[in-house]
Structure 1
């Protein structure tokens, strides 16, 4: 476990190490994303943040709080229901029109729902929210991240989800239509990690992280049916013992999003020389990637910062080509949606 004091000390150094980052927060108006965004505003000098959300009324509250925390920052709300890829594309276009590079793409938006029909684009509802929309943000904004890395600036993608909780995939059900609720959730997490692993290999100048945030009470914690009642009752009775406090969650996730201990693979040796010392305490040395190698560019993190590595199923997916297949499947879904809209345009 990385001590909270170590995390707080590292975040305090952001004012000099990363004073004016350009960031995109997918899910910055509520919950874990908002908790992290507040810590970012407090820890940097003049951040520029595009925060994505569905509800303008939430954005008004967020904007006021961020400006009170750090009036030198620039905070730009981008309204977007990420359920649809076409909405994600519009949001990304707004950002690309204004920025030549970004330093951080942070994704925490999501919800737990079952029983919904497919989206208007023909995508499984849960898969659209949990995976495809975030993958599309990465796909669209990758050129801006690569531009940042090319200028020797900080460049990272972090997805808050189920890092370290991966299980085996059904390669014949990558769009997650035929899985039950629990298996679907596990499959979503695995698909996220596998896709980030592929992207890290293809983009060695950018670091990729899939983190598990742990039990944090947020506005989005709703579950189906009787399960919802049980969860809410448990939180009411034992929440203060079971749940990670809002401020600590924000501090920890800011650390994961910005710390030098999770370098891109091309910068691993440089990071090791700068950070690694004999006897260095946890949280101050270069972390182990999901493949068990220090600084390998893609990291799966437990809520306490512990790097989860060497998981057999993930290493097998690399060797058997499933990792590449997952990303190719993702691109095929995107292409199908693009062709759908193209046909509608031609028919209009």
Structure 2
């Protein structure tokens, strides 16, 4: 575990390391994303934030909070129901028209709805909210991320879901429609990790993180049904023993979003020299990627900030070409949907 005190110390330097970042937050209007967004705004000088959500009333609350925390920042709400790919394309186009680069793409939108009807695009609901829809933002905004990296500016993509909890994917069920109640969540998590691993390989100047946030009380646990009762019961029993507070969650996730110890693979050697093996007070040296190599560009991160090596099957996916096959499947899904427009 990286001690919270050292994480706070690292976060205190963000105003000099990253004073005026351009960030896109998907999932920044509630829960973990909102907690982290507020902390980011408080830790920077003049940030420019695009925050994406469905509900204008939530956006008004977010806008007011951010302006009060840091009136020097610029905060732009983009209304978007991300469960429809066409909506994602429109939202991204708005950002592409306005910006030349993006430093941070934060993706934390998500919910639990086992057995929910398919989306309007014909996707399994949980596969869409967990993988296809957030990943479409990366695909669409990649030109701005690459522009930032080419200018040697800080560039990172961070997905908040369940890094390190992957289960092997079924090659005959890449859309994850046949998975059982006990395996489908881990397979969605694996989809995200495999997709990010492919993107890290193709974009070695951008770092990609898949983070497991731990047990944090958010609005997302209040969905209807008996499973919600179970979740709330566990949260109540766990209490202060397991549940991570809003404040600690914000600090730890901001650290993941901005720390030097998770570099893009292209920058790993330079960062290792700068850190000198001491971690500059951030708790550890350059983090180990999911392949077991320090600074390899794609990281699965535990809620305590430590990087976990990926399961053996994730490394095998690299060696046997499954990673590329899965990414081809992803692009085919987007293509088939967009051809219906």
Aligned to 1:132: 132
Give the distance between the partners of 2:236 and 2:157, measured in 1 at CA. 34
Q: Is the 8 A contact 2:279 2:285 kept in 1?
A: no
Aligned to 1:345: none
Aligned to 1:57: 57
Aligned to 2:162: 162
- In structure 2, the CA distance between the partners of 1:165 and 1:61, relative to structure 1 (3 Å rule), is same
Q: Is the 8 A contact 1:276 1:284 kept in 2?
A: no
Aligned to 1:344: none
| 1:219-259 deviation digits (Å, cap 9, x = unpaired) | 01146633221221232343232210001101100110111
Secondary structure (helix, strand or coil) at the match of 2:339 reads helix
Following superposition, the deviation at residue 91 of structure 1 comes to: 0.6
Following superposition, the deviation at residue 280 of structure 1 comes to: 7.1
Q: Is the 8 A contact 1:84 1:128 kept in 2?
A: no
Q: Is the 8 A contact 2:278 2:285 kept in 1?
A: no
Give the distance between the partners of 1:279 and 1:82, measured in 2 at CA. 38
Give the distance between the partners of 2:42 and 2:332, measured in 1 at CA. 41
Aligned to 1:209: 209
- In structure 2, the CA distance between the partners of 1:209 and 1:278, relative to structure 1 (3 Å rule), is closer
Following superposition, the deviation at residue 82 of structure 1 comes to: 0.6
Following superposition, the deviation at residue 116 of structure 1 comes to: 1.8
- In structure 2, the CA distance between the partners of 1:279 and 1:40, relative to structure 1 (3 Å rule), is closer
| Stretch deviating more after TM superposition (221-230 or 151-160) | 221-230
Q: Is the 8 A contact 1:276 1:286 kept in 2?
A: no
Aligned to 1:346: none
Segments of structure 2 that go 5 or more residues without pairing to the other structure are none
Following superposition, the deviation at residue 281 of structure 1 comes to: 6.5
Q: Is the 8 A contact 1:35 1:247 kept in 2?
A: yes
Aligned to 1:255: 255
| 1:26-84 deviation digits (Å, cap 9, x = unpaired) | 01000000010000001000000000111110111111111111111111111111101
Tell me the number of residue pairs that the alignment of Structure 1 and Structure 2 aligns. Answer: 341
Structure 2 length as normaliser, TM-score? Answer: 0.97
Structure 1 length as normaliser, TM-score? Answer: 0.95
Q: Is the 8 A contact 2:213 2:249 kept in 1?
A: yes
Give the distance between the partners of 1:44 and 1:322, measured in 2 at CA. 40
RMSD between aligned residues: 1.4
| Stretch deviating more after TM superposition (194-203 or 318-327) | 318-327
- In structure 2, the CA distance between the partners of 1:213 and 1:278, relative to structure 1 (3 Å rule), is closer
Following superposition, the deviation at residue 284 of structure 1 comes to: 4.0
Aligned to 1:302: 302
Match runs of 1:237-252 below 5 Å: 237-252=237-252
Aligned to 1:27: 27
Secondary structure (helix, strand or coil) at the match of 1:93 reads helix
| 1:124-148 deviation digits (Å, cap 9, x = unpaired) | 1111111101110000000000000
- In structure 2, the CA distance between the partners of 1:328 and 1:224, relative to structure 1 (3 Å rule), is farther
Aligned to 1:112: 112
Give the distance between the partners of 1:331 and 1:278, measured in 2 at CA. 41
Aligned to 2:93: 93
Following superposition, the deviation at residue 279 of structure 1 comes to: 8.7
Q: Is the 8 A contact 1:42 1:70 kept in 2?
A: yes
Give the distance between the partners of 2:135 and 2:93, measured in 1 at CA. 15
Match runs of 1:65-80 below 5 Å: 65-80=65-80
Give the distance between the partners of 1:65 and 1:225, measured in 2 at CA. 32
Q: Is the 8 A contact 2:209 2:299 kept in 1?
A: yes
| 1:328-348 deviation digits (Å, cap 9, x = unpaired) | 10000000011111xxxxxxx
- In structure 2, the CA distance between the partners of 1:279 and 1:234, relative to structure 1 (3 Å rule), is closer
Aligned to 1:287: 287
Give the distance between the partners of 1:146 and 1:300, measured in 2 at CA. 22
Q: Is the 8 A contact 2:278 2:284 kept in 1?
A: no
Q: Is the 8 A contact 1:112 1:222 kept in 2?
A: no
